[in-house]
């Protein structure tokens, strides 16, 4: 999408909002239940925004929900565009560019992931400390977009102050919270067991098929980023049997309730975060 098309999309989205969002929240597979906690919600499919196609994956609703979560104005993307659906890179990251245009200064991103590191069993929530971009292509390729940096630093791409905030709140709620490195592959196959061994050697703790493009664009726009993986399965070859999308979705729904509780409190107490580093 061109900068003009993104401006038009932002204007259309802005017309539907009661107030500018502070935080843009992207919900991964099976995690859509978080939107139930949004007060005074307005909800509309992606396709109501000019230039945005439908997102087709089962379990990804493909809607924006705007309102207040824990009293704070948020815009939620429930369902996302994935590279494996064949969407151009520009489309995958358009919601981040549009959300920033309507006022969101932070990105809170979630995904379902396979657990690679020992101890990351299904149901574990992992705060993303860093990532491996194994799509081998950047959504920033091409002309520099309005409001973006040519060579963004990816050191501390996931803001340590936001992660510290999440850790504090998780401890208070007695929700176990791990930290780890998220490897994003283009999919749509799940990994082979050999690929999982390779990823472990590379330093990955979790593996999925999303998130990294959105985070790269958020950093190019100097948005602060907090990311969570919900482990829905042991990565290929580490557990019994084969991976199955239906099981991933079911685990997402179960663990999503706990992650939803954490997200809500993290957002409600956003003002307790230290100054940006």
CA distance 7 to 11: 6
Q: Which of 25, 104, 162, 207 binds ligand HPA (CB under 6 A)?
A: 207
Nearest residue to ligand HPA, scored by beta-carbon proximity: 114
Interface with ligand HPA in residues 240-269 (CB under 6 A): 243, 248
For 120, which DSSP code?
-
Whether the CB-CB separation of 17 and 75 falls below 8 Å is answered with yes
85 is catalytic: yes
Q: Which is nearer to ligand HPA, 21 or 260 (CB)?
A: 260
Q: Is 55 in the site for ligand HPA (CB under 6 A)?
A: no
Kindly tell me the burial class for residue 43, based on how many C-beta atoms sit within 10 Å of its own C-beta (0-12, 13-18, 19 or more).
middle
138 is catalytic: no
Kindly report the number of other CB atoms within 10 A of residue 56's CB atom.
13
| The one catalytic residue among 85, 105, 179, 247 | 85
210 is catalytic: yes
The CB-of-145 to ligand HPA minimum distance in angstroms stands at: 28
Q: Which of 96, 113, 225, 263 binds ligand HPA (CB under 6 A)?
A: 113
Please state whether beta strands 106-115 and 125-133 pair in parallel, antiparallel, or not at all (unpaired).
Answer: unpaired
Q: Where are the beta strands (DSSP E) in 79-217?
A: 106-115, 125-133, 177-184, 206-208
- Chain centroid to CA 247: how far? 20
The CB-of-168 to ligand HPA minimum distance in angstroms stands at: 27
Query: What positions carry a catalytic annotation?
Result: 29, 60, 82, 84-85, 112, 209-210, 233, 245
Contact residues: ligand HPA, CB under 6 A: 112-114, 190-191, 207-209, 232-233, 235, 243, 248
């Amino acid at each position: 999408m061109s900068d003009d098309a993104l401006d038009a999309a932002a204007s259309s989205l802005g017309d539907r909002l009661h107030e500018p969002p502070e935080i843009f929240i992207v919900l991964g597979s099976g995690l859509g239940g978080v939107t139930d906690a949004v007060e005074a919600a307005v909800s509309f499919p992606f396709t109501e925004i000019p230039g945005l196609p439908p997102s087709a994956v089962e379990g990804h609703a493909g809607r924006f929900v705007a309102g207040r979560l824990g009293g704070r104005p948020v815009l939620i993307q429930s369902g996302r565009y994935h590279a494996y659906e064949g969407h151009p890179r520009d489309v995958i990251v358009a919601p981040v560019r549009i959300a920033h245009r309507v006022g969101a200064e932070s990105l809170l991103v979630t995904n379902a992931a396979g657990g690679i590191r020992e101890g990351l069993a299904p149901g574990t929530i992992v705060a993303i400390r860093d990532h491996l971009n194994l799509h081998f292509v950047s959504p920033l390729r091409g002309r520099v977009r309005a409001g973006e940096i040519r060579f963004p630093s990816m050191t501390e791409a996931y803001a340590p102050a936001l992660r510290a905030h999440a850790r504090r709140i998780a401890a208070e709620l007695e929700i176990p919270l791990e930290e780890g490195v998220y490897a994003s592959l283009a999919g749509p196959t799940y990994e082979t067991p050999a690929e999982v061994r390779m990823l472990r050697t590379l330093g990955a703790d979790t593996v999925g098929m999303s998130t990294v493009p959105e985070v790269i664009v958020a950093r190019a726009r100097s948005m602060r980023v907090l990311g969570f993986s919900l482990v829905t399965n042991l990565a290929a070859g580490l557990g019994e049997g084969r991976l199955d999308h239906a099981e991933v979705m079911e685990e997402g729904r179960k663990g999503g309730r706990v992650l939803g509780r954490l997200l809500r409190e993290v957002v409600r107490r956003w003002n307790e975060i230290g100054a940006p580093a």
